[in-house]
Amino acid sequence: MNNALKFYIDGAWVEPSGTARLPVVDPCTEEAFAEVAMGTPADVDRAVAAAKRAFASFSMTTPAERLALIRRILDAFLARHDEMGDIISREIGAPKAMAHAWQAGIGRRHLEELIRTCETFEWQRMKGTTLVNHEPVGVVALITPWNWPINQIVCKAAPAIAAGCTMVLKPSEVSPLNAVLFAEILDAAGVPAGVFNLVHGDGPTVGAALAAHPDVDMVSFTGSTRAGIEVAKLAAPTVKRVHQELGGKSANILLDDVDFEAAVTAGVNSCFGNSGQSCNAPTRMLVPEARHDEAVEIARRAAEAHRVGPADDAATTMGPVVSDVQFERVQRLIAIGIGEGARVVAGGLGRPQGLERGYYVRPTVFADVKPSMTIARDEIFGPVLAIMPYRDEDEAVAIANDSPFGLAAYVQSGDSERARRVGFRLRAGSVYLNYPSWDAGAPFGGYKQSGNGREYGEWGLEAFLEVKALVGFGR
């Protein structure tokens, strides 16, 4: 990929101001297969200046013109869809089938949903004699993570473009190459110069410079709660809008009337999807006390059915975690779980047998987990499930809500009305009832320390809009 050592600024691929480079490592082999240039505050200044210049004209385009542009972006994305899947599989170790169907596929689905949203969105409306007008917020900084990289890039950049904003993207330096491809897609679609700009770099350098920049009007950040707090602090002096999608520790409540074989198995597989590296993964499985041992045995079988291996092996159901840093974090938290008295019923410390190289983690299930344990409270971001018993429905809800996080929650019941009733009691931004299909139009975001604001569909579009009242317009 020739453009990995350049930045996309003002409609052109340009040389970085510095000379620093960072290897891009294949987590399946622990070997570098590419390099990416690392930016400086000077590169940020250049990119923000380009976005600021472009905003003057792009913000005046019509919603219809921007909708036509989003349609061209979708066409350009589809033309390179398979390439996108291959790149993400190599960068983060996702099995190829999953990387194509979901990692790349979710980008397509966000674009399709945004088109439907823009076709019906009410950009202006009268309220009495006042005209309420939606206008772009301005220059936005987009800071995105490595775990679902093109998902988070598309669900930020595309609605920002549809809103009439201009932007600078800092993707994760761990998985940066899909962002390079996305910039090439936008260029091919005819996005005007300066509307979209790409600068690679780390959080303390490029991310911090963007968050604090006086000419940035908004930061949209997805990542850890710790990093989100730092972004908010840096943004505060300029009172810019800060949109955050942060960590999670989602509870999965299995009520006593559910089909346990199906519900536990699906819960394990959902927790272990993407090697457990999803902020909304159902990592806390809450089961009736009387059926705890039954659930544990089902979960053990489901975990041991997973085939851990390289991304390009068709038999692989779970690839590695993304990096040595992530591998060591997961191992440390598994050790803490053992030390605090939780019972390992599947997996545990170390790599799976026969996989001596690569950041592979054994699919791990803990039983007899107490709500106070570290593995029940900290986001692990790996294939680790904590099974927790509860006495009754009220206690299940109390345990689920006893968390600093509130991104997602799950409820399984044979009675849909009962599942809905429990769902209303849960303090989470998304509650998934009986494992529904993924909905690109459902608002996504969290309560508490899981963030502020919502993404996807109309909520993702509104995140990048200001509301102006023209009072007396209709007199």
CA distance 38 to 16: 8
Closest CA to 215 of 81, 337, 334, 51: 51
Helix (H) or strand (E) holding 74: helix 63-79
Diameter of the chain measured on Cα atoms: 77
CA distance 287 to 277: 23
Q: What tens digit of pLDDT does each residue of 277-321 get?
A: 999 999 999 999 999 999 999 999 999 999 999 999 999 999 999
Q: What backbone torsions phi and psi does residue 403 show, to the nearest 5 degrees? A: -155, 145
pLDDT of residue 72 exceeding 80, the answer is: yes
What angle separates helix 81-92 from helix 149-163, to the nearest 10 degrees?
130
- All structural domains of the chain with their residue ranges: 2-246+450-470, 251-439
Q: Which of the following CATH numbers is that of domain 2-246+450-470: 3.40.190.10, 3.40.605.10, 3.40.50.720, 3.40.309.10?
A: 3.40.605.10
Closest CA to 150 of 205, 246, 242, 86: 86
CA distance 381 to 450: 14
β-pairing, 31-37 with 21-26?
antiparallel
User: Would you please indicate which residues are annotated as catalytic (active-site) residues?
Assistant: 245, 279
Helix (H) or strand (E) holding 285: strand 284-288
- DSSP class of 468: E
Confidence label for 1 from pLDDT (cuts 50, 70 and 90): low
pLDDT of residue 158 exceeding 70, the answer is: yes
Quick check: 104 and 84 in contact, CB under 8 A?
Answer: yes
Quick one: pLDDT at residue 68?
98
Q: How many CA atoms lie within 13 A of 341 on its CB side?
A: 7
Q: What tens digit of pLDDT does each residue of 229-287 get?
A: 999 999 999 999 999 999 999 999 999 999 999 999 999 999 999 999 999 999 999 99
Question: How is domain 251-439 classified at the CATH fold level?
Answer: Aldehyde Dehydrogenase; Chain A, domain 2 (3.40.309)
CA distance 61 to 460: 19
CA distance 229 to 252: 27
